[in-house]
Structure 1
Amino acid sequence: MSSDPFLQALAPNHSLPNAVQWLHSTEGQYSGQCDIERGTGFLTKIATNLAGFPPGGKDVPVSVTINRMGETLTWTRDFGGHCTTSHLVYDANRNCVREKFGAISIWLRASLQNGVLRIEILRLSVFGVPLPAFALPRSNTREWQDAQGRFRFDVSANAPGLGLLIRYQGWLTPDHTMRGAG
Structure 2
Amino acid sequence: MQPLAGQDLLHTQPHPIHWLATATAISAVIAVSSLLQPTGALATTTGPSSAEAAPVPAAPDPSRVAFPVNCGPNRLDVVRKVSGDLDGTGGTQTVAVVRCHSEAGTPPSGVYVLARPSDPTDPTAAPRVVATLLAPSQRLSVQDITLDARVVSATVQGYSSPDVPRYMPDVHKTIKWQWQGGKFVQSELPADTATDGA
TM-score bucket (shorter structure): 0.3 to 0.5
Greater C-alpha radius of gyration: 2
Q: Which has the higher strand share?
A: 1
TM-score by length of 1: 0.35
